[in-house]
Amino acid sequence: MPHSRINNDLLRPLFQTSWRFYLLVGIFGSIVLAALIAWLSQAYFGFGVTGIAWPIYWGFYVTNFVFWIGISHAGTLISAILRLVDAGWRRPVTRCAEVITVFALMIGALFPIIHLGRPWLAFWLFPYPSERLIWPNFRSPLVWDFFAINTYLTGSVLFLVLPMIPDFAVVRDKATGLRKKIYGILALGWRGTPKQWHRLESAMSIMAVAIVPVAVSVHTIVSFDFSMAPVPMWQTTIFGPYFVAGAIFSGIAGLLIAMALLRRFLHLQEYLLPIHFQNLGKLLLVMALLWGYFVFNERLVTYYGNEPSEMAVFWRTQRESFAPLYWTMIIGNFVLPVVLMGIKYFRTITGCVIASIGVIVGMWLERFLIIVPSLGHKYLPYSFGTYRPQPVEIIIAIATFAAMTLLYVLFAKFVPIISIWELKTGPSERTGLPHHLGHVGPVVTDRPRP
Amino acid sequence: MKAIYGLYGDGMSAQQAVNRLRAAGVADREIVVMSSQPMEDYEFGHMDSRTRIWWIACLGGLIGMATALGLAWLTEVSWPINVGGLPTFAWWPNLIIIFELTMLGAILATVVTLAVTAGLGRGSSFYDPAVSDGKILVGVANPPEASVHELESALAAIHGAQIKMI
Amino acid sequence: MPKWGMAADLDKCTGCGACVTACHAENNISTVGADQAARGRAKHWIRVERYWEGEFPDVRLKFRPVMCQHCDNAPCEPVCPTYASHHTDDGLNAQVYNRCIGTRYCANACPYNVRFFDFFNPSWEKPLHLQLNPDVSLREVGVMEKCTFCVQRIKATTIAAKAEGRELKDGEVNTACAQACPARALVFGDLDDPESEVSRLSRSSRGSKLLEDVGTKPKVTYLSRGN
């Protein structure tokens, strides 16, 4: 595929806007606005407008927090890990994935502020020499959250933005007027000399190596928000790996849905090929099996231990009041992906999307089922309780999905959603040749004498 | 003259152009090559590739580690507060902060080094938008008046070259 | 340095609830109204748990007053990001309202569920606002609160004793709940003083700790013949 064709296809969303774009922005923007108003009403009228009550002090907000931080692991897996193992098929997919990471992180990172009783004091988590002569408690998992999420967010934003620079240069070259000026500034004077390319690729390699342990640590630390408390079925050492696996799992599902939508609405059928969906579908299958393994581990060990307070929570999810949600989770997270992704006939783009939607629902329910049943049934029977989410929490939960879609739509409007230079560099899945050579004969890599 | 350069359609022609420029007596650091993707398969794609960025990233990591250690130790020891019977400076929980700031230091050091060494944000000497369409630019910036003709013939010798002077 | 603790004699407790009322009065705890209480928003720093034992007609009632156990290995303390929940030198689990940003992690970590969140700004219908205790701060919406072993009384008595240049005597400091209990089921004092009544009771063979196996090292001893 010649350069000009790639440029045109991938830059079209930037230069052409249809009424559908404005409609999408309008709809999702309104939902996000509604959520903002809901949260402001919570800050104004008092936290009591939520469904939180003694003894269940964490509900939808923390569920959303863990869920969205989990989704953010999509980009790390695709961009960083696949880059490190040099999997060529990742090239059209990296930016889609990294965008999910950055926006999911931003959304997730809002929740520690949304769920605070006094959110105007959230800045106390930042270590600064205050006049109160006190620093944050570095031994607290919530402070670890603060450091981990900020490090991951910084790393992910940079990991996303650095490879955008050469693409901004392409847009700068193709655009006119004000657009040319803005993208000219964003391109930071990129010219494409071997020195610049080499520095960029080195920096990306370092970032890839650095971001993987950070991603693992982030969701492990989020799991520490639970495992550091002596609550039945929370204080278990399996939470660290369990949460990381669940995060990557939900991330891949989110990525599959995003890719399917982009392929359809931005006409990227020649770039996001069925092979990409099949490969990611296989990864989804692996993660589903891994998730099932962790759940089996957690539940078998609890069952064998037969400790009364733990077993009470165990049966609560499996047989009693939370059973419908629990079994929906099992179907969405395990049965559906294993069947649809395991059988080659079903591993189509549609199959991938259906399995992914099941996983998204299942993973959200999993976070909810970790938090609420345990908190409602700790040790002393007198203090058992139930949780009923209120409109504020429901609107904000729905709005997170709207916000993600809105941010994604806006991003795809201003930045090429497939990394143009990375696509051109790698081999085409169809021809096996570097993209820029297209169908012109075999590759000649004549290494001249130095 | 600001620059003289040729636009080539593929890597091999560009490599030949670079070789001819070298034969014409141009030093490697005077030769300007621009492409829309990294040309790792060709020798000219490896010009100027020595970099210390990995060492700087490690250094950044060490600085991050020192910062975290200092922050945790100094603040916890200066204002000792008993929480749950944990020691004033407990290694296990503090390792997390230390790890995060180490990685942050490495990441920031990498990005700053990239920005500085790749000359990002600095005004460029010259550029041709044809590069975005897949052309590879090989040329010389600010060539001395006397050698312009020689450079022009060196660049034009390759089949399919588009020579420009600005 | 004293180590404050408590003993609760379940064989004496009649479940009258005077301790709850006294605690509300002493510590400026607002009531939240029937609606909010039904939703679980009540803030009873000390609560009386009622358990039924046996089958009809051999039914027995057991009452257990539960307040903050001021655990020496408190799970609520390390998890607070702003050090709002920390351990003092005299063994109290202190809740510093000014530092609290309301993450509610401490409440989740507490196995006894004795931590309460202010869901709304407190309000007292006139003339009840005249009854407020000036020694205790009012908590605004968004902070956690819990039993403090009446730290304002501890501090006031300690300062008075220091001013007079003498040590504290056993029984001189009393929490509101212990003072109000008509059956004298609640006893408060210094566990480090081997002669104090609370020390003696904590060594009783009828004594046990609540949820001892969770490992929190609580400082309230419950005395019951059924042990």
* Least confident residue range of A194-198, B34-38, B161-165, C51-55: B161-165
Using an 8 Å CB-CB cutoff, list chain A residues near C36: 48
**In this prediction, what percent of chain A has a pLDDT beyond 70?**
94
**How many beta-carbon contacts under 8 Å exist across B and C?**
29
- Non-local (6+) Cβ contacts of C48 within 8 A are C13, C15, C17, C19, C20, C63, C64, C65, C66
What is the pLDDT confidence band of residue A443, given thresholds at 50, 70 and 90? very low
Q: Which residue has the higher pLDDT, B124 or B32?
A: B32
Q: Does A16 touch chain B (CB under 8 A)?
A: no
Q: What is the mean pLDDT of residues A221-232?
A: 95
CA–CA separation, A396 and A393 (whole Å): 5
- Non-local (6+) Cβ contacts of A23 within 8 A are none
Two tokens, residue C7: 């003993």
Using an 8 Å CB-CB cutoff, list chain A residues near B80: none
The predicted pLDDT at position A248 comes to 94
Contact state of B53 with A202 under an 8 Å Cβ cutoff: yes
Q: Looking at chain A from residue 126 to 145, which residues have their Cβ under 8 Å from any Cβ of chain B?
A: 127, 133-135, 137-139, 143-144
Do A188 and A169 touch, CB atoms closer than 8 A? no
Q: Does C78 touch chain A (CB under 8 A)?
A: yes
Report chain A residues touching chain C, CB-CB < 8 A.
45-48, 52-55, 57-58, 112, 115-119, 121-122, 124-125, 132, 134, 136-137, 139-143, 146, 225, 228-231, 375, 378-383, 385
Q: How many CB atoms lie within 10 A of CB B129?
A: 13
pLDDT at A33 over 90: yes
pLDDT tens column, B61-72: 999 999 999 999
Contact state of B110 with A148 under an 8 Å Cβ cutoff: no
Mean pLDDT of chain A: 90
What is the pLDDT confidence band of residue A440, given thresholds at 50, 70 and 90? very low
The predicted pLDDT at position C107 comes to 96
Domains and CATH numbers, chain A: 3-118+136-424 (1.20.1630.10)
Helices marked H in C81-215: 105-109, 151-163, 176-180, 197-202
The predicted pLDDT at position B139 comes to 86
Using an 8 Å CB-CB cutoff, list chain A residues near B103: 151, 155, 210, 213-214, 217
Q: What is the mean pLDDT of residues C102-111?
A: 96
Q: What is the mean pLDDT of residues A241-258?
A: 95
pLDDT tens column, A115-160: 999 999 999 999 998 888 889 999 999 999 999 999 999 999 999 9
Q: Does B121 touch chain C (CB under 8 A)?
A: no
Q: Does A151 touch chain B (CB under 8 A)?
A: yes
Do A395 and A32 touch, CB atoms closer than 8 A? no
The predicted pLDDT at position A79 comes to 81
DSSP assignment of A70-100 equals HHTHHHIIIIIIHHHTT-GGGTTTHHHHHHH
pLDDT at C227 over 70: no
CA–CA separation, C83 and C92 (whole Å): 14
- Amino acid at residue number A436: H
pLDDT at C182 over 80: yes
Cα Rg of chain B, angstroms:
25
Cα Rg of chain C, angstroms:
18
ipTM field: 0.92
Which stretch, A307-316, B16-25, B131-140, has highest mean pLDDT? A307-316
- For chain B, strand residue ranges (E) read 3-8, 31-34, 136-141, 162-165
C79 → chain B, closest CA residue: B83
Contact state of A142 with C79 under an 8 Å Cβ cutoff: yes
Strands C186-190 and C85-87, bridge-based pairing: unpaired
Q: Does A214 touch chain B (CB under 8 A)?
A: yes
Two tokens, residue A295: 């759940």
The predicted pLDDT at position A435 comes to 55
pLDDT tens column, A407-426: 999 999 999 888 888 888 77
Contact state of A198 with B100 under an 8 Å Cβ cutoff: no
CA–CA separation, B78 and B80 (whole Å): 6
**In this prediction, what percent of chain C has a pLDDT beyond 70?**
99
CA–CA separation, C105 and C102 (whole Å): 8
**Cis peptide preceding A2, ω within 30 of 0:** no
Contact state of B84 with C80 under an 8 Å Cβ cutoff: no
The predicted pLDDT at position A337 comes to 96
Do B93 and B83 touch, CB atoms closer than 8 A? no
Which chains share 3+ C-beta pairs under 8 angstroms with C? A, B
pLDDT tens column, B130-155: 888 888 888 888 888 888 888 888 88
Contact state of A385 with C40 under an 8 Å Cβ cutoff: yes
Using an 8 Å CB-CB cutoff, list chain A residues near B41: 443, 445
Residue ranges per structural domain of chain C: 4-223
Contact state of C85 with B83 under an 8 Å Cβ cutoff: yes
Q: What is the mean pLDDT of residues A50-77?
A: 93
Contact state of A151 with B49 under an 8 Å Cβ cutoff: no
Domains and CATH numbers, chain B: 3-50+124-165 (3.30.70), 53-117 (no CATH)
pLDDT at C139 over 50: yes
**In this prediction, what percent of chain A has a pLDDT beyond 90?**
68
Q: Is residue B160 packed enough to be buried (19+ CB in 10 Å), middle (13-18) or exposed (0-12)?
A: exposed
Which chains share 3+ C-beta pairs under 8 angstroms with A? B, C
Contact state of B83 with A169 under an 8 Å Cβ cutoff: no
Q: What architecture is domain C4-223?
A: 2-Layer Sandwich (3.30)
The predicted pLDDT at position A176 comes to 87
pLDDT tens column, A283-308: 999 999 999 999 999 999 999 999 99
Do B31 and B77 touch, CB atoms closer than 8 A? no
CB neighbour burial string for C45-63, b if at least 16 within 10 angstroms, e if fewer:
bbbbeeeeeeeeeeeeeeb
Two tokens, residue A283: 């990864």
The predicted pLDDT at position A445 comes to 35
CA distances to A190, A196, A248, A421, B131 from B36, rounded to whole Å, are 10, 11, 33, 7, 6
What is the pLDDT confidence band of residue A444, given thresholds at 50, 70 and 90? very low
Do C27 and C150 touch, CB atoms closer than 8 A? yes
Contact state of B83 with C83 under an 8 Å Cβ cutoff: yes
Using an 8 Å CB-CB cutoff, list chain B residues near A436: 37, 134
Predicted TM-score (pTM) of this structure:
0.93
CA angle, C11 then C15 then C18, to 5°: 120
CA–CA separation, B122 and B31 (whole Å): 19
* Least confident residue range of A204-208, B156-160, C126-130, C185-189: B156-160
Mean pLDDT of chain C: 94
